[in-house]
Structure 1
Amino acid sequence: MSSSNIDALPYYDKQIDDPHFKAKAQALIEAEMRSTPKVEVDDPRLPPQTEIFSKSSGLRELLDNYNEHPIRGIDVSKYAPPQANPNESLDELKEIEKRGWIGEGHMALRNENVQILSTYGPNAWLVRNYQLSTQLTELQAAVTEMKERVTELNRARRVFQEDTGQHLSRLEGRWQDLVGATVQLEMACGAMEGEVEGLRIREERLQAEVKQLEG
């Protein structure tokens, strides 16, 4: 990790625990969020919307407004055999017979599909479940690995920031000591300058007295 441009050590700095600093940080975050442009729904950087059940309009209709309108049950009336009244005309009876044959053919096809499903469906279901289980295991392993990497990264960041914080604290303490020593040195220099000035004035006074005595 680079040690340049260090301006925040969240694992070491404790100023954020102060309500005053916390409020200031929150205000800065909110200001940054207000200045950040919002991403539109049609932004090209976003993935395209996926149309669910694009090949089945019936399933799409069932899912439309699902929260407001629960999914309806299967309408079994369309599978019921047509009923003929005694006073039906010949054309109407032919139409009823036609619908009956169509319904019978449809049910025969459904029975055939059920038999095929009973024969091959369980194996296909088991194979697909095995594939999904394998994919789930791989995804869980990937998630576990990613969590371990994140944990290791956070651990490394914590160690780095704590070491850096301690180093900065030592430098800050040394800086304070040097500043204190500099202030003391300046005070000592000022005192010595005062003493030197006093000695110079005394020297001048003594020289003046000597001249008076000689004169």
Structure 2
Amino acid sequence: EGLHLPRLKWSVHVERTTRLKIWEGASPPPSPLALYYHNTRRRRRTVTARLLAKASAVFTADQRAGLELESDRRRAADARVGMPGSTHEAERFTTASMALPPAFHESLPYIDPEPSPAALDAARALISAEQQSSPPALPPPREPSFSPALTTELRRIASQTPLHPLSLSRYESQELPPQSSSETIRPVLSNAYVSAAYLASRNQNLALLDTHGAHAWLLSNYHLEESLKRVERELADVKREMDEVNARRAHRQEDVKAEMLMLEDTWRRGVGRVLETELAVEELKAQIREELKNRGAQEASSS
């Protein structure tokens, strides 16, 4: 075990350095402390799980208890040197060491394999569990209270009754009544004033439109075209930057793909040798205990 652990630690260090090179352009950059903690915790969990799974098939209950005791001893040693060994210690460690969590994820989409159907099912199960634990829906909305005039208008719209149009009689040409008196002429004269003012305003607007309308229309079209071109340029720049970022990311990941595979294979072989060493040690301990037990029985029988 003492011969393989330095090599395993070297592999972890090189892999951590490689991942930092891959995420060099991340914003904000990844925290080396968080990456070291994550990789170490993941490897410890993997080694412990595989060791216990393999040991449960060949070890006795006493041997498994001794193996678990050895694992607890290692976690306690890690805790003494400042490495978190449990979930509570990990939370305290990350809270005290990092004020803000790093805004990056660990996936390498250009070199990582596709997730298996079992992994996808597990992810969907986690999503459904999170959705079920969400807070209840909002209460029903409050019934609105409209004024009588608005209620009447809403009923008219619901019944699709046409709206009474505005009367345009005051803008029409006025005719004198057959009997000309001051009382009968006054409304006609008032409507004539309104019609004359309306026609004068309309004539003025048409004159302004004839003088400046074409220029204003062309100027408005020019500004709209410039706005459209500016937005299209911004969109093209953003797409180009996205393509450049994706190309750089793919280039970085492809450059270190072989190294990552080599490190992963080295780590697997190192873990395998550690497991084999642990199994050999436990088998040797079992043989020693059996030998001591036999010697004790022989001495007891001879005495």
Aligned to 2:194: 102
Aligned to 1:181: 273
* CA gap 1:3/1:106 in 2 versus in 1, 3 angstroms: closer
Quote how far apart the aligned CAs of 1:181 are: 1.4
C-alpha distance in 1 between matches for 2:114 and 2:208:
69
**For structure 2, which runs of at least 5 residues remain unmatched after alignment?**
1-25, 36-104, 139-156, 295-303
Aligned to 2:87: none
1:22 corresponds to which of 114, 123, 127: 123
Q: Deviations for 1:76-101, whole angstroms, at most 9, x for unmatched residues? A: 55532345543575223122122112
The letter of the residue matching 1:20 is: D
Q: Percent identity?
A: 21
Aligned to 1:212: none
Please tell me whether the aligned partners of residues 170 and 191 of structure 2 are also in contact (alpha carbons under 8 angstroms).
no
From the CA coordinates, give the structure whose radius of gyration is larger.
1
* CA gap 1:30/1:144 in 2 versus in 1, 3 angstroms: farther
Q: Does 1:79 align with 2:171?
A: yes
Please tell me whether the aligned partners of residues 176 and 188 of structure 2 are also in contact (alpha carbons under 8 angstroms).
yes
Please tell me whether the aligned partners of residues 173 and 195 of structure 2 are also in contact (alpha carbons under 8 angstroms).
yes
Please tell me whether the aligned partners of residues 9 and 161 of structure 1 are also in contact (alpha carbons under 8 angstroms).
no
TM-score with structure 1 setting the length: 0.56
Q: Does 1:152 align with 2:237?
A: no
Q: Secondary structure at the match of 1:15?
A: coil
The letter of the residue matching 2:172 is: A
* CA gap 1:22/1:117 in 2 versus in 1, 3 angstroms: same
Q: Deviations for 1:109-138, whole angstroms, at most 9, x for unmatched residues? A: 211210221111101111121122112211
Q: Does 1:112 align with 2:204?
A: yes
C-alpha distance in 2 between matches for 1:88 and 1:10:
95
Q: Secondary structure at the match of 1:81?
A: coil
The letter of the residue matching 1:111 is: N
Across the aligned residues of Structure 1 and Structure 2, the Cα RMSD in angstroms comes to 4.5
2:234 corresponds to which of 126, 142, 153: 142
Aligned to 2:66: none
* CA gap 1:165/1:29 in 2 versus in 1, 3 angstroms: farther
* CA gap 1:145/1:72 in 2 versus in 1, 3 angstroms: farther
**Highest RCO, 1 vs 2 (Cα 8 Å, sep ≥ 6):** 2
Q: Deviations for 1:42-61, whole angstroms, at most 9, x for unmatched residues? A: xxxxxxxxxxxxxxxxxxxx
Q: Deviations for 1:125-163, whole angstroms, at most 9, x for unmatched residues? A: 111211221122112111211222233334444555666
